[in-house]
Amino acid sequence: MKPYDQLLRDCILINNYWASADRRFPVMNPATGDLIAEVADADTNHVVEAIGAAAVAFETWGKTTARSRSLILKKWYQLVMQHTDALASLLTAEQGKPFTEAKGEVIYGASFIEWYAEECRRTYGETIPAPVAGKRLLTIKQPVGVVAAITPWNFPVAMITRKIAPALAAGCTVVLKPAEDTPLSALALASLAIEAGIPPGVLNVLPTSDAASIGKVLCTHPVVKKISFTGSTEVGKILMEQCASTVKRLSLELGGNAPVIVFDDADIMVAVKGTLASKYRNAGQTCVCANRIFVQQKIYPDFISRYREAVAELNVGNGATENVQIGPLINEAGINKVRRLLFDATEKGAEVITGGGTHPAGGLFFEPTIITNCNDSMLLSREEIFGPVSAIYVFNDEHEVVRLANKTEYGLAAYIFTQDINRAWRVAEQLEHGMIGINEGIISHAEAPFGGMKESGFGKEGGYYGIEEYLETKYLCIGGV
């Protein structure tokens, strides 16, 4: 018996009923190639049914007191924490990341449930001084309605709780479409939500292998009032076009091309540790991971020497095995993309000084890699690498590196390493990125806003900003007072 068997679900969830389907699709372990489960494959009829269930549930859930919603969310949080090891084991099986890292994701994901269980009791309106006598002006907050959430495979627990917890806290009902590669974590979370007391229709989950068709129905259906999507910029643009027909509210967390800037006054070991954490977490498969590492000329030799030593110590293997730090990439397409970007870079003069090929651990494992002499003519300077490859660039001065860091259509995250507070503040203000880590490679917390600029999307998740995305501000003007 596997640790996660008690949480394993292979059905569609609509109205708190576990439904089957005519078709099923396989969920594979990327580390071993083994079949974990065959999951019911939702079609467009299931989407319409789920939206209908969510609409009916909203009539009640949207009117429940904040305290009532808070108590259910707190119970959900407690159940997730009680099942941390089982959820992490399931996450590792379907996604591949090391168990320790998966456990960290579950705890991080649960923190959003806890935060919004508390934050839902603080969705205050305002009273506004009236400009004329006899009137009273005020605002109230109300849930937007039925929400559709579309989540990625790289953080199959955290990306779900980061969207669903504030939506439910606000009084919205949800139709969730998890990624095809990792639907099991979503279904396990939903089963715990039901156990916590989530009423029928409030949370519906549609695993599917036909993301395009399901997504189109969610975007065009008039009952769905908001879409929250995390994924590629290419898909995000399609969803924007589809949502235009009903003028839906949108939150989009899209692609990134994060620069890391290591100035010559940085603490080298702090910079090495922070860059390593940003780059190699989840085998480099994160939207905020270090994609371009800029190192100032003066400290370049020292940084490369120490960074190379640290990368060489990373242990690659099956995430279910102890002491593993780098798991597999999610699928063959991920491996092929890394190979393509490395080939292009080396053809244009870059040098691989560590790694550079597939790892003996198996077909979807890639060696932790460092490539130097990079420049902006290379594809990896413009595309998300989404693999365990550190692309190193050299710069001379602050003005130059700010220009290079901003030379991208993306603007999600950026990182600065310096001991000069004036420089840190000055550069952070100039960077066209929504989140800035200063002497830190891990920046996301439930209490803080997460989101980007430019073609990395709009809308925030986390903090009080996150619940505002699911609330309408209604203005009331009372006359004759």
The residues that are catalytic are 253, 287
As a whole number of angstroms, the distance between CA 253 and CA 451 comes to 6
Coil, strand or helix at 467: helix
Coil, strand or helix at 382: coil
| CA-closest candidate to residue 154, choices 7, 328, 34, 415 | 328
- Six-digit token string for 174: 């949800």
| CA-closest candidate to residue 119, choices 55, 186, 48, 168 | 168
Write the Ramachandran bin of 479: left for phi over 0, alpha for psi from -120 to 50, otherwise beta. Answer: beta
As a whole number of angstroms, the distance between CA 355 and CA 307 comes to 13
As a whole number of angstroms, the distance between CA 6 and CA 298 comes to 56
Q: How many CB atoms lie within 10 A of CB 163?
A: 27
Per-position DSSP letters for 279-344, written without gaps between them: HHGGGG--TTSEEEEEEEGGGHHHHHHHHHHHHHTPPBS-TTSTT--B---SSHHHHHHHHHHHHH
As a whole number of angstroms, the distance between CA 452 and CA 254 comes to 8
Q: How far is CA 59 from CA 66, 79, 96, 116, in A?
A: 15, 27, 40, 21
| Structural contact between residues 408 and 376, judged by C-beta atoms closer than 8 angstroms | no
Report DSSP state, residue 411. E
